[in-house]
């Protein structure tokens, strides 16, 4: 089904829900999902509405100007419109670790993700064969301390060439520069292998082992310039015990990582994530 999705963010005021509902009703919208949220602390209103496009009374290209004129301007709304057709385009960055990549490919194959994957980019060749079996182009761009900026430029060029909408770092073991991130604000999803804000930085499973925690976790977040500090999309945890070695923790954690990352992708794809400041509203 062709679906249109409207995402609104504005100062909280009375009458917003009524105005948006009236707009959708006026143009004969068959509403599929509506969710609202008010952040009381900062007085900001958030809304997400999805409706069937086929039976809607406005053509896709007319929705924006009409909504602006009839609703958005009055409330000084920031809003976005998304359509699930054509499908959004997602690039995956990987290094050598396969668990997150294979989980994404598995869901892609099974039709769980309403997405195109036009390419996978890796600094290693290891995962090429399996990616290729899923009929996805694989680009091998090795990174070292000298060529990092140049490689990022190549990556950005590829992302533009393939008209990529967002990027998933599926345990890509390189830190992206601020200038890369600015090209894709809140459009780069990373999976960090700890329950943030605990164990920021490298080797979080070893740090968790040293601290003797009984539960480990993983965190999917939008990448911002400050390392491991971007808006959190999803987190999940798993129980560990005293007999689990650091390498057990790595393995137990990988199961959590792949689940968390795939959930975050799903929320992002369905435009259920509204990021603001360092936080997210997730309308699941």
Task: Catalogue the active-site residues.
Answer: 228
Peptide bond into 197 cis (omega under 30): yes
Site for a copy of itself in 149-208 (CB under 8 A): 195-199
User: To 10 degrees, the CA torsion angle through 268, 271, 277, 279?
Assistant: -60
**Is 249 a binder of a copy of itself (CB under 8 A)?**
no
Going residue by residue from 36 to 75, which x/- string records binding to a copy of itself, judged by CB under 8 A? xx-xx-----------------------------------
CB of 151 to a copy of itself, least distance (A): 26
Could you say whether residue 17 binds a copy of itself (CB under 8 A)? Answer: yes
Structure tokens at 251: 């393995």
Residue with tokens 């900062």: 42
At how many degrees (to 10) do helices 246-269 and 204-211 cross?
120
By rule CB under 8 A, what count of residues binds a copy of itself? 64
Length of the chain measured in residues? 284
Residue 110 interacting with a copy of itself (CB under 8 A): yes
Instruction: In angstroms, give the least distance from the CB of 177 to a copy of itself.
Output: 24
List 3, 231, 261, 271, residue binding a copy of itself (CB under 8 A): 231
Least separation in angstroms between CB 47 and a copy of itself: 10
Distance CA 36, CA 39 (A): 10
Instruction: List the one residue from 42, 125, 133, 157 that touches a copy of itself (CB under 8 A).
Output: 133
Q: What secondary structure, in 3-state letters, does 15-77 show? A: CHHHHHHHHHHHCCCCEEEEEEEEECCCCEEEEEEEEECCCCCCCHHHHHHHHHHHHHHHHCC
Question: Do 46 and 75 form a contact (C-beta atoms < 8 A)?
Answer: no
- Tell me if 22 contacts a copy of itself by CB under 8 A: yes
Question: Residue 284: how many CB atoms within 10 A of its CB?
Answer: 10
Binding site for a copy of itself (CB under 8 A): 14-15, 17-18, 21-22, 24-25, 28-31, 34, 36-37, 39-40, 97-99, 102-103, 105-107, 109-110, 112, 129-130, 132-134, 195-199, 211-215, 217, 231-237, 241-243, 245, 251, 254-255, 259, 278-282
């Amino acid at each position: 089904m062709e679906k249109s999705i409207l995402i609104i963010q504005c100062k909280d005021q009375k009458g917003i829900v009524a105005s948006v509902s009236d707009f959708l009703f006026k143009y004969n919208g068959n509403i599929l999902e509506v969710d609202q949220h008010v952040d009381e602390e900062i007085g900001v209103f958030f809304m997400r509405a999805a409706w069937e496009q086929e039976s809607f009374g406005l053509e896709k290209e007319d929705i924006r100007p009409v909504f602006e004129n009839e609703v958005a301007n009055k409330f000084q709304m920031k809003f976005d419109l998304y359509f699930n057709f054509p499908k959004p385009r997602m690039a995956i960055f990987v290094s050598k670790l396969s668990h997150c990549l294979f989980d994404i490919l598995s869901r892609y194959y099974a039709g769980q993700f309403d997405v195109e994957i036009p390419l996978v980019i890796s600094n290693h060749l290891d995962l090429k064969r399996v990616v290729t079996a899923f009929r996805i182009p694989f680009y091998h761009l090795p990174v070292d301390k000298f060529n990092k900026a140049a490689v990022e430029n190549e990556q950005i060029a590829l992302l533009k060439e393939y008209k990529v909408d967002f990027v998933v770092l599926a345990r890509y073991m390189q830190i992206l520069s601020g200038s890369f991130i600015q090209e894709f604000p809140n459009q780069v999803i990373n999976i960090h292998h700890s329950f943030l804000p605990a164990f920021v930085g490298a080797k979080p499973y070893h740090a968790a082992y040293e601290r003797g925690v009984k539960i480990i976790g993983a965190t999917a977040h939008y990448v911002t310039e400050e390392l491991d500090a971007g808006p959190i999309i999803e987190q999940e945890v798993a129980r560990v015990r005293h007999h689990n070695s650091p390498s057990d923790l790595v393995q137990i954690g990988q199961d959590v990582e792949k689940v968390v990352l795939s959930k975050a992708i799903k929320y992002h794809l369905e435009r259920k994530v509204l990021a603001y400041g360092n936080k997210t509203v997730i309308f699941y």
